């Protein structure tokens, strides 16, 4: 990484402030809730046009009536060149109409708007970074490949197979999810996430006339819930939360069925395997009931592996060249970086600095987001990683 590139890159990116903010505005106003892919045409058009203007050709993947994802690569490229994966998502948690209630606006250095921080600001960063590489004629020894999916907020069920394939052939993965906290920490580790549903099958009976003839699924669920909460281990970073429960027919009937939906967060793949095994091995305490457990660790942990730490060293070096104080941290939530980290060196949280992901006060800081765009540009120009990936 040539140190002389840093001031040029930072100057160029700062000159593109209006390009960045206008693109984020367009993306925010093209609402794209995860659960309604039929609303996504507009945001895809904006992204594909912006990528084309940056010299990238793109195509869409995904089936009919399914979320459609964007794959893009330079229109001009060298054959046989190693690739790096630049990853983001355009779906948001906000329903159609939210932007009417909370319109996009800029107040000084603060940009507000649903989806601006998580993570349409990061998508605009990608475009401006690619423009910088083109206009400043910077070399990219490792070919940037862009993948923007449409279902990250709901688990990336249709896009994970593409992400796995791309990550397996990538020298590294750069994830443009928002930075963490007010300091804007870079995410070098993320907890794994699991979702489980425990269903209890009992036997109905009249609660007054023949209670002994029944087997209460709700009573059994109360035992199961206590076993699940006992799996929490703060010291190990394991959290198990029973978030919703349901069951029974009416008060005068011994409950024949009940369910609990459980959220699990784990710091390592090994801990995830352990907790998954324990939950699936639960046995009933109450007579004449049976349990059925469905679920798994859907997003394996992103661990601070040696290769991830080597990539972090490059991030830190690039930050030093730009005069940025950067810090690394573990995030409690998951992202597609959890998946790429299984296959290649991964850094997450390269996106906007701000606050309020999934909250009404969602916002980003324009100056800090421009700095992170310069950081991304420098990272994209670094040589291939050494050693196994």
Question: Do 161 and 231 share a domain, yes or no?
Answer: no
Instruction: Transcribe 235-274 into DSSP letters.
Output: TTTBEEEEEEEEE-S-TTB--SEEEEEEEEEESSHHHHHH
In sequence order, the 6+-apart residues with CB closer than 8 A to the CB of 209 are none
* Rounded Cα distance, 380 and 141, in Å: 9
Question: If you ran DSSP here, which 8-state letter would residue 208 be given?
Answer: T
User: Same domain for 39 and 143?
Assistant: yes
Contact 128, 66 (CB under 8 A): no
Cβ-count burial 367-389 (b if 16+ within 10 Å, e if not)? ebbbbbbbbbbbbbbbeebeeeb
Q: What is the DSSP string of 57-73?
A: EEEEE--TTS--EEEEE
Residue 154 falls within a domain, yes or no?
A: yes
Q: Which of 269, 299, 329 is the last residue of a domain?
A: 299
**CATH code, domain carrying 284:** 3.30.70.360
- What is the C-alpha to C-alpha distance for residues 43 and 51, in angstroms, rounded to an integer? 12
Q: Which of 299, 324, 343 is the last residue of a domain?
A: 299
- For every one of its 389 residues, what pLDDT tens digit does the chain have, with 9 covering 90 and above? 445 799 999 999 999 999 999 999 999 999 999 999 999 999 999 999 999 999 999 999 987 678 999 999 999 888 889 999 999 999 999 999 999 999 999 999 999 999 999 999 999 999 999 999 999 999 999 999 999 999 999 999 999 999 999 999 999 999 999 999 999 999 999 999 999 999 999 999 999 999 999 999 999 999 999 999 999 999 999 999 999 999 999 999 999 999 999 999 999 999 999 999 999 999 999 999 999 999 999 999 999 999 999 999 999 999 999 999 999 999 988 999 999 999 999 999 999 999 999 999 999 999 999 999 999 999 999 999 975 44
* Residue that terminates a domain, selected from 299, 317, 351: 299
- What per-residue confidence (pLDDT) applies to 5? 94
| C-alpha 389: how far from chain center | 21
Residue 35 sits in the same domain as residue 115: yes
Same-domain check for residues 45 and 122: yes
Residue showing tokens 């070919």 = 143
For residue 53, tell me if it sits in a domain.
Answer: yes
Q: CA 120 to CA 112: how far, in whole Å? A: 12
Say if 244 falls within a structural domain. yes
Bridge partners for 328 per DSSP = 186
Domain ranges, residue 183:
5-190+302-380
Q: Are residues 285 and 210 in the same domain?
A: yes
387 occurs within a structural domain: no
Question: Is 333 within a domain?
Answer: yes
Residues 291 and 310 occupy one common structural domain = no
Q: Report the Cα–Cα distance between both ends of the chain, in Å, rounded.
A: 20
Domain shared by 196 and 276, yes or no: yes
pLDDT at 387: 56
Rounded CA separation 144/126 (Å): 10
Does the residue 385 lie in any domain? Answer: no
Residue 171 shares a structural domain with residue 238: no
For residue 130, the model assigns a pLDDT of: 98
DSSP state of 39: G
Backbone angles phi, psi at 110, to 5 degrees: -110, 130
Pair 96, 220 in one domain? no
pTM: 0.91
Rounded to whole angstroms, how far apart are CA atoms 277 and 298? 14
**In this structure, are 171 and 290 located in the same domain?**
no
Q: From the CB of residue 331, how many other CB atoms can be counted at a distance below 10 Å?
A: 22
331 in Cβ contact with 189 (< 8 Å): yes
| Maximum CA extent, the chain | 86
Q: For residues 57 and 152, state if they share a domain.
A: yes
Instruction: Specify the CATH number for the domain of residue 156.
Output: 3.40.630.10
How many domains is the chain built from?
2
Whether 239 is in a domain gets the answer yes
Task: Please check whether residues 72 and 158 belong to one and the same domain.
Answer: yes
- Would you say 330 and 303 are in contact if contact means Cβ atoms under 8 Å apart? no
59: which residues sit within 8 A by CB, 6+ positions away? 70, 71, 72
- pLDDT at position 91 is 98
Closest residue by Cα to residue 213 from 256, 258, 251: 256
Which residues is 294 bridged to in the sheet?
Answer: 197
């Amino acid at each position: 990484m040539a140190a002389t590139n840093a001031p040029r890159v930072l100057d160029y990116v700062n000159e593109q402030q209006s390009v960045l903010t206008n693109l984020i505005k367009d993306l925010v106003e093209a609402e794209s809730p995860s659960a309604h892919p039929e609303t996504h045409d507009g945001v895809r058009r904006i992204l594909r046009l912006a990528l084309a203007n940056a010299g990238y050709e793109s195509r869409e993947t995904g089936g009919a009536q399914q979320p459609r994802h964007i794959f893009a690569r330079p229109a001009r490229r060298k054959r046989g060149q190693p690739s790096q994966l630049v990853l983001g998502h355009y779906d948001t948690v906000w329903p159609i109409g939210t932007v009417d209630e909370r319109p996009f606006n800029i107040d000084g250095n603060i940009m507000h708007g649903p989806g601006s921080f998580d993570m349409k600001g990061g998508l605009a960063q990608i475009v401006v970074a690619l423009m910088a590489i083109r206009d400043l004629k910077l070399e990219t020894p490792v070919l940037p490949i862009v993948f923007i999916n449409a279902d990250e907020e709901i688990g990336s069920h249709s896009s994970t197979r593409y992400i796995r394939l791309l990550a397996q052939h990538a020298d590294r993965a750069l994830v443009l999810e928002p930075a963490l906290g007010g300091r804007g920490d870079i995410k070098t580790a993320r907890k794994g996430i699991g979702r489980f549903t425990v269903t209890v099958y009992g036997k109905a009976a009249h609660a007054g006339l023949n209670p002994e003839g029944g087997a209460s699924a709700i009573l059994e669920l109360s035992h199961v819930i206590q076993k699940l909460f006992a799996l929490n281990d703060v010291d190990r970073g394991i959290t198990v939360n029973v978030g919703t429960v349901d069951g029974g027919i009416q008060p005068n009937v011994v409950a024949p069925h009940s369910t609990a939906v459980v959220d699990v967060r784990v710091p390592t793949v090994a801990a995830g395997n352990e907790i998954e095994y324990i939950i699936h091995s639960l046995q009933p305490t109450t007579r004449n009931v049976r349990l059925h457990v469905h679920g798994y660790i859907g997003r394996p942990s992103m661990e601070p592996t040696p290769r991830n730490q080597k990539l972090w060293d490059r991030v830190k070096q690039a930050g030093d060249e730009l005069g940025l104080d950067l810090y690394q941290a573990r995030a409690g939530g998951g992202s597609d970086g959890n998946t790429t980290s299984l296959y290649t060196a991964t850094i997450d949280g390269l996106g906007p600095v701000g606050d309020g992901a999934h909250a009404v006060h969602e916002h980003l800081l324009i100056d800090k987001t421009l700095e992170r765009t310069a950081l991304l540009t420098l990272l994209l120009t670094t040589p291939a990683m050494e050693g196994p990936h």
